Structures are given as C-alpha cells and as structure tokens.
Amino acid sequence: MPFPPLKVSAEKHLFFAVLGWVVFLFSVAWILPPCDSRVPPQPLTFWSIIAIAAGLAIYTAIMVPVYFCQSWRRLPTVPNKISYGIGISSESLVFLAILVWAAFVLIYMSASTHLF
C-alpha cells in the first residue's frame, strides 16, 4: 500500500479531494445530457451522481478544516515564521472569501425567480 492512511498528511488528502472533484466534474459533464436537452437523466444515474457529490462534499468539508488546523499549529515550529504566516493567512482569507461568495450565490439563486 503506497499511502498508509495514518501516514498521509492533510495536504495529500486535500490533493486527493481536489483530484476527486476534477474527475467527478469531468465525468458528470460527459455522462449527463446537456442543460438545454429535453431528455432527463436516468434515475439511477442521477442518484448515483448525487451520492458521489455528497460523499466528496463531506470528505472536503472534513479535510479543509483539518488542513488549516495543522497548518496553523505548525506556525511556531517553522524556521521562516513570517513568510509562512503570510502564506497561511492569505490561504485562510481566500478560503473565507470563497465561502462568503458561495453563500451569496446560493442565497441569490434561491431568492431569484429566474435561474438563467
């Protein structure tokens, strides 16, 4: 086994999550019919995609806070504290900006009467 579960760092888990999302999104774009199609997807296909997306979302929701927690705990032990602190601070701020943007989009989409 090349990656024992206990020895894999949070960075590698985040890489696996991003890779999983990329593979998932490309495969969904290939499998599902176009948005302007009148043909609905098969129920088994639809619910399989929902289940895989939910699993990836849960995995990502667990791994992102673990990554940030480990990164912030590593700050006192790194030799170049200032540049590491700036880097992890900018990562945290970008992540928070993405969360705020996603919440805004979801609220706006749910409040609007026309989706497209």
What pTM value is reported for the model? 0.72
| Beta carbons within 8 Å of 32's beta carbon, 6+ residues apart | 41, 45, 49
| 94 and 58 housed in the same domain | no
pLDDT 10s digit of each residue in the chain, 116 long?
565 655 668 888 889 999 999 999 999 989 888 777 788 788 888 899 999 999 999 999 999 998 999 999 999 999 999 999 999 999 999 999 999 998 998 888 777 655 54
Please tell me whether residues 63 and 100 are part of one structural domain. Answer: no
| 59 and 23 in a common domain | yes
**Same domain? 72 vs 85:** no
